[in-house]
Amino acid sequence: MDSSSTLLAAMKTVLAGNQFPVALHEPSFSEREQQLVKDCLDSGYVSSVGEHVDRFELQLAEYLGADYVVAVVNGTAALHISLLLAGVVVSDEVIIPALSFVATANAVRYCGATPHFVDSEPHTLGIGPAKLSDYLAEILQLDGGVWRNKNTGCRVSAIVAMHTLGHPVDMGALNIVAARYGLPVIEDAAESLGSCYKGKMTGTLASIAAISFNGNKIITTGGGGAIVIRDKQLAVRAKHLTTTAKISHAWEIAHDETGFNYRMPNLNAALGCAQLERITAFIEQKRRLADAYSDAFFSVTGISVFQEPEFSRSNYWLNALLLDEADLDKRNAVLKLLNNEAIMARPVWTLMHKLPMYRDNPRMDLSVVEDLEQRLICIPSSPFLIEATGHA
Ligand SMILES: *Cc1c(COP(=O)(O)O)cnc(C)c1O
């Protein structure tokens, strides 16, 4: 057999019994979701008032072992508010990974700040603390108590760590580097709900985190997001900012600053409550699916399945094949092969510094992500795929 037919055979052993086309990621709904959404509709409270939002926030805080959770309209809004809470202001620079979904960079721009792109490390796909440490030592300069980028003169005010495809960043090491410069760390945990780093949930590894409940994420509220916060004062501020900065009063309608209409609607929260009840089962299924892919690709040469970092327990939100060598032609050939067989496969995101609006942004050497971009192929990862295969 040539390599493409071995590869296809490996994919098909895992996906056998499923309906084709096989999507990259689909949500799964049970009667519980139907019931809670119907209850919400029957109550008439589908929008900005209702009990489900409070319930969802408490349920999520309990699941994470977090202090405070504020539910919002989507993960991008959660990132935007997280950056504001961290003190990011106009003309700052914020350190973010070049390998991320565009929302990470966009949220920085919403604050009037500039995304400053850094490299990942190959075994986590996230920010590499050692390389970042060397880089910050080289470019940062203390000026009147403020750390500035020597080359641009801009204040560097935060670091966003994104847990790529669900796999945790080496947060312990990253937090040490950040603390050296007094930089707050924000977790972009949009993809990693339920993933653990050294036994602790992602989303609780820094003082502020953002989560997404978009339709393709591990649980969904249709569209939605959450901000996870340690400090009570900041949590109160997050709630205020995301609810149009309205002053609480029996009848007056007044606002004390320019707020945002970012509150999660009650209808979405109802769906979220039901989905959150099932997350442990989803993660178990996803981990079994990842095992099945690993077994199937064990004997395929030149390609492997990306494995969680050794210090973590990943939710394996999205499985990825990893070519042994960076070869764009080979990557594209695999993408074509799989898509032709109605198996949805996708490259990782176009690196942030290659997008037209971020082309001229400050950046470090990005050789690791440039390499990874040519080697990674995301493959179908819906939790229910494993049920049909007999791998259970
Ligand atoms: C999905 C995602 C977001 C944004 O979430 P939305 O709910 O789609 O706004 C942000 N960052 C990353 C890494 C994501 O994958």
Give all domains of the chain, ordered by start, each with its CATH number.
4-28+279-389 (3.90.1150.10), 31-276 (3.40.640.10)
pLDDT for 390 equals: 56
Site of tokens 């067989």: 341
CB of 162 shorter than 6 A to ligand 1? yes
Percent of the chain with pLDDT over 90: 95
H-assigned helices in the chain: 3-15, 31-43, 51-64, 75-85, 102-110, 129-139, 171-180, 232-242, 266-277, 279-297, 328-340, 367-373
- Non-local (6+) Cβ contacts of 296 within 8 A are 10, 11, 13, 14
User: Among the listed ranges 4-8, 68-72, 181-185, 213-217, which one has the minimum average pLDDT value?
Assistant: 4-8
Over the Cα atoms of the chain, what is R_g? 21
Is the pLDDT confidence value at 389 over 80? no
C-alpha atoms less than 13 angstroms from C-alpha of 123 in its C-beta half-sphere: 6
Average pLDDT over residues 46-62: 93
Q: What is the mean pLDDT of the chain?
A: 96
What is the band of 2 on the pLDDT scale with cuts at 50, 70, 90?
Answer: low
Is the pLDDT confidence value at 234 over 70? yes
Higher pLDDT, 388 or 276: 276
Counting from 1 in the atom list of ligand 1, the atom nearest the Cα of 214 is 7
Is the pLDDT confidence value at 186 over 60? yes
Average pLDDT over residues 256-279: 97
Is the pLDDT confidence value at 392 over 80? no
CB of 191 shorter than 6 A to ligand 1? yes
What is the band of 45 on the pLDDT scale with cuts at 50, 70, 90?
Answer: confident
Please state the pTM of the whole predicted model: 0.97
Residue from 188, 264, 348, 378 to probe ligand 1 pocket by mutation (most atoms less than 8 Å from CB): 188
CB of 160 shorter than 6 A to ligand 1? no
Tens digit of pLDDT for each residue in 103-144?
999 999 999 999 999 999 999 999 999 999 999 999 999 999
Report helix, strand or coil for 200. Answer: strand
CB of 187 shorter than 6 A to ligand 1? no
CB of 214 shorter than 6 A to ligand 1? yes
Average pLDDT over residues 2-18: 91
| Dist. CA 186 → ligand 1 center (Å) | 14
CB of 374 shorter than 6 A to ligand 1? no
What is the band of 391 on the pLDDT scale with cuts at 50, 70, 90?
Answer: low
Tens digit of pLDDT for each residue in 155-171?
999 999 999 999 999 99
Mapping DSSP onto H, E and C, the string for 202-254 reads: CCCCCCEEEEECCCCCCCCCCCCEEEEECCHHHHHHHHHHHECCECCCCCCCC
| Dist. CA 214 → ligand 1 center (Å) | 7
CB of 120 shorter than 6 A to ligand 1? no
Site of tokens 């096989």: 22
Structure token digits, residue 109: 């721009």
Peptide bond into 21 cis (omega under 30): yes
Report helix, strand or coil for 38. Answer: helix
